[in-house]
């Protein structure tokens, strides 16, 4: 029996979801996007099986409906679906938004109907965007959090969880409040901090322009997430404002404590501070994707000899291991290696590490 899926919004996440769900043997994916060119491109590339001219028509016969749209647009569509759409009895609706409280406050729109809304957040991404960036493997080993409205929706959540199994994501069920609190700590607040550090450098570089050049190494890597889509992060900041304000209070307390450590100047206390952070950070999971977009990098300490970079890329190409980027790091005070090689997945990185260790004598690190 064929399962029908509607994907509404065909960007990176919606397109990747459409591709991943095609791993099911009997599934038909219908897509809709407000941009007609994106919709036609998705059909041409085989990302969807069919297209609809409205979100309503995409959803009307679907067993599973995915809103891969910004949170405010998802809420608008939820209202429209509950009031105007004729949905299939037993259909499960879900979303892919980065915040969940606002979304789940509208889940009761479907109370008393034959359809159920289960919140969802696949915690995966890419440095690229748009339907052409869609990848079938995008969600593999990434956490995918589901937020059912309550116990009555547990059966629908289990159905959705089982259906999403083909994405090879790490599925977990949490409440909307837990989701927003946790992602504030590990994703949303770090974006604010990264953006603030970049603004601090910008101010410093006005008087000391060379500081900008020195930022090409560890600082650039540390603040990579500040390059994220500003429209998306504007919305996330507004939607999760209360949690972020709580994080500001806790961060200010932490900074006051750290300032006290620096002011006292006790060498043992300062070392304990850094050692505690190092130990906890190094014990964090390495292979799984977390809330922040993960770049799977190897730092290779190669000599500055002609052909050294082509040697590395040649070895990886011969082994059939794809890479996404190669760059030389000029400011290396806190970066372990002159060459950074980026891979698509953690598995590719590990294969690359083992291959290079076997065939070269270079020092190779994962940071």
Between residues 125 and 108, which one has the greater pLDDT?
A: 108
For residues 160 and 201, membership in a common domain is answered with: no
Identify whether residues 162 and 183 lie together within a single domain.
no
Q: Say whether pLDDT at 366 is over 80.
A: no
Mean pLDDT of the chain: 88
The reported pLDDT for the residue numbered 361 is 79
Q: Which of the listed residues 282, 316, 339 is the one where a domain comes to its end?
A: 282
Residues 99 and 127 in one domain: yes
Asked if residue 290 belongs to a domain, the reply is no
- Whether 336 has a pLDDT exceeding 70, the answer reads no
Q: Please write the tens of the pLDDT for every residue from 337-357.
A: 577 888 877 788 888 888 888
Report the pLDDT averaged over residues 94-116. 92
Q: What is the DSSP-derived secondary structure letter of residue 295?
A: P
Asked if residues 32 and 39 have their Cβ atoms less than 8 Å apart, the reply is: yes
Range of the domain at 278: 179-282
Q: What is the pLDDT of residues 133-154, one digit of tens each?
A: 898 988 888 899 999 987 778 8
Q: How far apart are CA 308 and CA 248, in angstroms?
A: 46
Mean per-residue pLDDT for 26-30? 96
Last residue of a domain, one of 174, 198, 223: 174
- Residue 48: the pLDDT is 96
Tell me whether residue 83 is in a domain: yes
Average pLDDT, integer, range 207-222: 83
Report pLDDT digits (tens) over 40-84. 999 999 999 999 999 999 999 999 999 999 999 999 999 999 999
Residue 130 located in a structural domain? yes
Tell which residue, 348, 347, 300, has the closest CA to residue 324.
348
Q: Which residues contact 233 (CB under 8 A, 6 or more apart)?
A: 191
Q: Of 174, 201, 223, which residue is a domain's last?
A: 174
Query: Would you state the torsion angle of the CA atoms of residues 245, 246, 251, 253, taken in this order, to the nearest 10 degrees?
Result: 120
* Statement to judge: residues 170 and 183 lie in one domain: no
User: Which range among 194-203, 223-232, 257-266 shows the weakest confidence by mean pLDDT?
Assistant: 223-232
- The CATH number linked to 36 is 3.40.50.720
Residue 226: pLDDT over 90: no
95 & 131 share domain: yes
Q: Are residues 230 and 265 in the same domain?
A: yes
pLDDT tens digit sequence for 117-129 = 999 999 887 667 8
Q: What is the mean pLDDT of residues 80-108?
A: 94
Give the whole-angstrom CA distance, residue 193 versus residue 147.
27
- Tell whether 110 and 189 lie within a shared domain: no
User: Are residue 150 and residue 239 in the same domain, yes or no?
Assistant: no
pLDDT grade for 16, boundaries at 50, 70 and 90:
very high
Residue 359 lies in a domain: yes
Question: Cα-flanking dihedrals φ and ψ of residue 26, to 5°?
Answer: -120, 80
Q: Does residue 289 lie in a domain region? A: no
Between residues 333 and 325, which one has the greater pLDDT? 325
- In CATH, what number is assigned to the domain containing residue 343? 3.30.70.260
Q: Are residues 237 and 214 in the same domain?
A: yes
Residues near 336 by beta carbon (within 8 Å), at least 6 away in sequence: 299, 301, 363, 365, 367
Tell me, yes or no, whether 288 lies in a domain: no
In a domain, 228, yes or no: yes
The CATH code of the domain that includes 261 is 1.10.3660.10
pLDDT digits (tens, 9 = 90+) for 184-201: 999 999 999 999 999 999
291 part of a folded domain: no
**Measuring CA to CA, which residue among 10, 9, 3 is closest to residue 46?**
10
pLDDT at 333: 46
Q: What is the pLDDT of residue 286?
A: 64
pLDDT digits (tens, 9 = 90+) for 271-297: 999 999 999 988 887 655 555 555 678
The structure's pTM equals 0.78
* Tokens found for residue 143: 């956490």
Shared domain check, 169 and 20: yes
CB 89 within 8 A of CB 66: no
- Going across the sheet that includes 323-328, the strands are 323-328, 339-343, 296-301, 363-365
Q: Looking at the structure, do residues 109 and 185 belong to the same domain, yes or no? A: no
Report the number of distinct structural domains present in the chain: 3
Check whether residue 76 and residue 213 sit in a common domain: no
Contact residues for 7 (Cβ-Cβ < 8 A; gap 6+): 14, 15, 17, 18, 29, 30, 31, 32, 48, 58, 66, 68
What distance in Å separates the CA atoms of residue 184 and residue 192, rounded to the nearest whole number? 10
Above 70 in pLDDT, residue 334? Answer: no
Q: What percentage of the chain exceeds 70 in pLDDT?
A: 93
Q: How far is Cα of residue 323 from the mean position of the Cα atoms in its chain?
A: 19
């Amino acid at each position: 029996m064929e399962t029908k899926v509607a994907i509404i919004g065909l960007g990176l996440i919606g397109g990747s979801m459409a591709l991943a769900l095609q791993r099911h043997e009997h599934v038909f994916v219908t897509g809709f996007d407000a941009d007609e060119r994106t919709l036609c491109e998705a059909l041409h590339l085989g990302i969807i099986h069919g297209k609809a001219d409205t979100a309503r028509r995409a959803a009307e016969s679907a067993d599973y409906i995915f809103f891969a749209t910004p949170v405010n647009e998802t809420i608008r569509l939820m209202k429209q679906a509950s009031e105007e759409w004729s949905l299939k009895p037993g259909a499960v609706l879900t979303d892919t938004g980065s915040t969940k409280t606002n979304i789940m406050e509208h889940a009761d729109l479907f109370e008393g109907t034959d359809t159920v809304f289960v919140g969802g957040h696949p915690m995966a991404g890419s440095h690229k965007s748009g339907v052409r960036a869609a990848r079938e493997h995008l969600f593999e080993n990434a956490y995918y959090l589901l937020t059912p409205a309550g116990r009555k929706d547990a059966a629908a959540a289990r159905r959705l969880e089982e259906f999403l199994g083909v994405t090879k994501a790490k599925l977990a069920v949490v409440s909307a409040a837990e989701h927003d609190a946790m992602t504030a700590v590990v994703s949303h607040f770090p974006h604010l901090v990264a953006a603030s550090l970049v603004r601090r450098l910008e101010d410093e570089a006005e008087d000391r322009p060379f500081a900008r050049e020195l930022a090409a190494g560890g600082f650039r890597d540390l603040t990579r997430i500040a390059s994220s889509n500003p429209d998306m992060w504007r919305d996330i900041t507004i939607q999760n404002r209360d949690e972020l304000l709580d994080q500001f209070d806790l961060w200010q307390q932490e900074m006051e404590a750290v300032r006290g450590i620096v002011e006292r100047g006790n060498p043992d206390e300062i070392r304990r501070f850094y050692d505690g952070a190092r130990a906890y950070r190094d014990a964090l999971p390495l292979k799984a994707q977390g809330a922040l977009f993960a770049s799977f990098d190897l730092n290779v300490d190669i000599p500055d000899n002609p052909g050294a970079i082509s040697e590395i890329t040649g070895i990886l190409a011969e082994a059939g291991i794809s890479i996404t980027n190669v760059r030389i790091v000029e400011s290396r005070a806190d970066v372990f290696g002159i060459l950074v090689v980026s891979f698509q997945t953690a598995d590719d990185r590990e294969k690359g590490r083992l291959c290079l260790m076997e065939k070269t004598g270079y020092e190779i690190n994962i940071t």
